[in-house]
Chains A and B, each alone.
Chain A
Amino acid sequence: MLAGRTGNLDLHTCTSVVGYCLLPVVIFSALSLFLPVDGVIRLSVAAVFVLWATRASAGLVVSFADGGDEHRGLIAYASFLIYTLFSLLVIF
């Protein structure tokens, strides 16, 4: 999100996009109620959902921001960190 500050992206748009893309993490939270406590399975499922959320978030931000294509990798990494943090709280 920080890299997008050079464009026309404002705080409300960022917050909105991050909030929408939390939905995959929410689905993962519900799903984890039925998953076994085995570490490997949970980590794998978490990775899938985090990548899903990251991809969606990066796509949305790039479409909103001017010149976003140049910063796609940077934006994706920031999103990845946020959703991984939420997933940590679900996994453990």
Chain B
Amino acid sequence: MYGNVGSQPGVQQSQTSLPPNPFGSAFNVAGSGLIRGGLGAYGGKILGSSSEYVQSNISRYFSDPQYYFQVNDQYVKNKLKVVLLPFLHRGHWTRITEPVGGRLSYKPPIYDINAPDLYIPLMAFGTYVILAGLSLGLHRKFSPEALNLLFIKGLLGWFMQAALLKVTLLSLGSGEAPLLDIIAYAGYTFTGICLAVLGRIILGYSYYFLMPWTCLCMGVFLVKTMKRVLFAEVRSYDSSRHHYLLLFIALVQFPLFTWLGNITINWLL
């Protein structure tokens, strides 16, 4: 009799726990999907390319997606400083290279502050979704459907940012930057957005100061990084065209940040 009564609350608890699972799964699926998609793209590139230099570079990254997750606490701290306060980065923006078996390859993030990683973008994206949910909840508008919608919106923003960077690099004659690099650079966007959204949750009016500030910082960061990527790849140099396109990247940050930072139920807003 007593045992029977005891099992009933257990069943209730179990049922209560089941609904949240889909969202947890969505996170994992999205994460692995990103990496798998990137690897697929690399595979296509390998088949289509016969260049020794390109092939060695691509096989380098194709065989080692974990390169992007070789991080530690110190790297993350310093990288966040670089992303959020690019003006204070006094060192150079060039990635450190080392000769490996006669080929030139980059040092992993744990040794090089300028190397891209995928840990910060993924964590920033997760933080963005959770902060969005928290913001909606505080306004009594929270629902799992809204959370799912914001998740898709974030992914769409990430994709648009990555596409922008990729198209810019291609139009400047440099299409050899690895796809995961582009995805990582685009993902840093969420770091600034999280800061702005957090500011709005805590103090409503600080949002209007933080949003332009984070847009500016992200613009500066992307311009510096993309400039370095270009110089590493491009042999010819067309000064004015480069500068205009890099400036275009910085300017696009403002509408993108505003769209992602505006957390509502509505799709387009």
Residues of A within 8 A of B (CB): 2-3, 5-6, 22, 25-26, 29-30, 39, 70-74, 77-78, 81-82, 84-86, 88-89, 91-92
Contacts and interface: CB of A to CB of B under 8 A. Distances in A.
Nearest to B120: A74
Given A39-B138, A85-B133, A88-B147, A74 B71 contact: yes
Nearest to A2: B69
A81 B72 CA distance: 18
Interface residues of B, number: 35
Given A70-B73, A74-B73, A85-B20, 5 more contacts: A22-B17, A30-B12, A73-B76, A74-B119, A92-B143
B24 A3 contact: no
Contact of A29 (B17, B118, B143): B17
Contacts of B20: 85-86, 89
B93 interface: no
B144 A89 contact: yes
Contacts of B130: 81, 84-85, 88
Interface string B18-39: 0110011001000100000000
A40 B101 CA distance: 60
B142 interface: yes
A32 to B, nearest CB: 9
B6 interface: no
A3 B119 contact: yes
Contacts of A5: 66, 69
B123 A71 contact: no
A82 B126 CA distance: 8
Q: Is the interface of A mostly helix, strand, loop or mixed?
A: helix
B127 interface: yes
A82 B122 CA distance: 12
Contacts of A82: 24, 27
A72 B142 CA distance: 32
Interface of B: 9, 12-13, 16-17, 19-20, 23-24, 27, 31, 66, 69-73, 76, 118-119, 122-123, 126-127, 129-130, 133-134, 136-138, 142-144, 147
B137 A29 contact: no
Given A39-B138, A81-B127, A6 B69 contact: yes
B127 A70 contact: no
A6 B109 CA distance: 13
A26 B122 contact: no
Contact of A2 (B16, B72, B73, B119): B119
Nearest to A6: B70
A10 to B, nearest CB: 13
Contact of B76 (A30, A74, A88): A74
Nearest to B16: A29
Nearest to B31: A2
Given A78-B123, A81-B126, A88 B13 contact: no
B114 to A, nearest CB: 19
Contacts of B12: 30
A78 B13 CA distance: 25
A72 B71 CA distance: 11
A89 B119 contact: no
B23 A2 contact: no
B73 A89 contact: no
